[in-house]
Amino acid sequence: MTTGEIRDNDYEEFAPEYARSSETHAIYYLYERPAITGLAGEVRGLRVLDAGCGAGGQAAEFILRGAAVTGVDISDGLLNIARDRLGPDVPLYQADLSQPLPFPDGSFDLVLSSLVMHYLQDWEATLREFHRVLVPGGRVVMSTHHPFMDMRLSSSDDYFGIYTYTEDWQRDGKTMRMRFWHRPLRAMLSAFTASGFAVGHIAEPDPLPEMASGDPETYRHLSRNAQFLFFSLTALADAEQIAGAGATAPQPGAG
């Protein structure tokens, strides 16, 4: 990489700036974080894998609620911040979610995936790993880009396609070039069922009311525009259940 060149999704260079923004921007602490925490429900005593833990904000919340959390992230810079935040007793691993995870089968009761999946081209490989490391009946709670937001950001009129696009983020006077993958809802649902999950809940939550006074512009935007999608998935226990779930999955070209 030459001097001055911008690299896609370069969290190593921008880890401190990204960590600060993820803690202070209302879209995280008054919208995404409470929504996914509410979807997770009671976590006391559960073994939780925070898949894409970043700087450890979600992990800290789940630990306070009584969960035993293990975190993985591809960015060593963000993991260093998470280690300082969470302390030495919380296991954290550097791992690429597009590759096999470094855990035995059935290691966790819950997988948390907060704003991660839209970075990945192949969802099924990652979801199959989530299924493998979960106990039968374990859950995934996840948030990801709403496909309507992808279309808005990419200026595309193609809802049903699967394609990549970039967006430039400004953090502390620096430019982060982010690369994401758009996919329609039917492709998400097909990936879930093909990977052994039943879809329990799909949510398009509203921002918390207190955002209206603290950040009225963001509140108005989130009240009128699709931003993120939230899912609760349950890991099916055997091949017959998985085949039955797959039979109901939306098919390519279905209206």
Q: Tell me the torsion sign for CA atoms 70, 75, 79, 81.
A: negative
Average pLDDT over the chain, rounded to whole?
Answer: 89
Per-residue model confidence (pLDDT) at position 72: 98
The whole-number average pLDDT for the span 53-60 is: 94
Give a yes or no: residue 154 inside a domain.
yes
Give a yes or no: residue 255 inside a domain.
no
The residues with which 163 forms a beta bridge, in sequence order, are: 182
Per-residue model confidence (pLDDT) at position 174: 75
The whole-number average pLDDT for the span 194-221 is: 96
Give a yes or no: residue 252 inside a domain.
no
Q: Is 59's pLDDT higher than 80?
A: yes
Give a yes or no: residue 167 inside a domain.
yes
Q: Is 253's pLDDT higher than 70?
A: no
Per-residue model confidence (pLDDT) at position 8: 66
Give a yes or no: residue 140 inside a domain.
yes
Give a yes or no: residue 144 inside a domain.
yes
pTM of the model: 0.88
Give a yes or no: residue 1 inside a domain.
no
Q: Which of 215-219, 237-241, 248-252 has the highest mean pLDDT?
A: 215-219
Residues 6+ positions from 72 with CB-CB distance below 8 Å: 49, 50, 51, 52, 53, 92, 93, 94, 95, 97, 101, 102
Per the model's pLDDT, the better-predicted residue between 127 and 239 turns out to be: 127
> Hey, which bits of 67-114 come out as E strands?
68-73, 92-94, 108-114
Looking at the 3D structure of the chain, how many domains does it have?
1
Domain that holds residue 157: 11-247
Give a yes or no: residue 6 inside a domain.
no
Q: Tell me the torsion sign for CA atoms 147, 149, 153, 159.
A: positive
CATH, residue 122: 3.40.50.150
Per-residue model confidence (pLDDT) at position 12: 67
Q: Is 186's pLDDT higher than 50?
A: yes
Per-residue model confidence (pLDDT) at position 247: 39
Per the model's pLDDT, the better-predicted residue between 254 and 90 turns out to be: 90
- Within 10 angstroms of residue 169's Cβ, the number of other Cβ atoms is 13
